[in-house]
A and B are shown apart, each in its own frame.
Chain A
Amino acid sequence: ETGVTQTPRHLVMGMTNKKSLKCEQHLGHNAMYWYKQSAKKPLELMFVYNFKEQTENNSVPSRFSPECPNSSHLFLHLHTLQPEDSALYLCASSQDRLAPEQFFGPGTRLTVL
């Protein structure tokens, strides 16, 4: 596989469930990002990891918990979500935090019932 991959592509969960989103990049990059894309709203940056260290937490509720075990993998752990958390969650990577260009994965379409 090449580029940035995300699994699952679609996820439906209840408010009491716990699930995880996975992102993997095959580009040799050192920075990875989680974004949330809601209908009719701009893309929102959630978390940034640079060389496995979290460098940005954009006031995200604690029901979203990121994990970056190595530079190639990024997870977003979800628990007790709300219906308003339904959105497309996009993962991206870049060479490092200062690199000008980010490469995006296909996204996970999350629906919270």
Chain B
Amino acid sequence: ELKVEQNPLFLSMQEGKNYTIYCNYSTTSDRLYWYRQDPGKSLESLFVLLSNGAVKQEGRLMASLDTKARLSTLHITAAVHDLSATYFCAVDNTDKLIFGTGTRLQVFP
């Protein structure tokens, strides 16, 4: 059974700082997704990573995928308050998405 683990589960960081969220998964997959969810809102697609070594960047966020290590990272550069949200990774397992528990990010001045 595929398991997806994220860490940390909660992250409080100061504006302007850098940090990385990790997503580990337990079985082979070469498709991984990152989503953002604001409180009371739905999930917004951030990145779709479809191959080993894939790297995508959008603004202050950069996501990468290492299928051999079964690891994806979401790197935050120079955090701003607007990035405060919960971030989920999801791994494609035989056409079914398995989600991590989410990382709740809080950025303070």
Q: Which residues of A contact B (CB under 8 A)?
A: 4, 40-43, 45, 48, 56, 90, 92, 97-98, 100-107, 109
Contacts and interface: CB of A to CB of B under 8 A. Distances in A.
A90 B95 contact: no
Range of interface residues on chain B?
Answer: 20 to 34
Interface stretch (B14-22, B39-47, B55-63, B64-72): B39-47
A92 to B, nearest CB: 8
5 contacts: A40-B101, A43-B99, A48-B96, A102-B97, A104-B35
Contacts of A43: 43, 88, 90, 97, 99
Residue with the greatest number of chain A CB neighbours at <10 A, chosen from B42, B50, B98 = B42
B43 A90 contact: yes
B33 A101 contact: yes
B10 to A, nearest CB: 11
Interface in B52-93: 88, 90, 92
Given A42-B99, A100-B31, A101-B48, 6 more contacts: A42-B102, A43-B43, A97-B95, A100-B48, A100-B92, A102-B33
Residue with the greatest number of chain A CB neighbours at <10 A, chosen from B88, B95, B101 = B95
A42 B101 CA distance: 4
Contacts of B42: 4, 90, 104-107
Contact of A104 (B43, B50, B101): B43
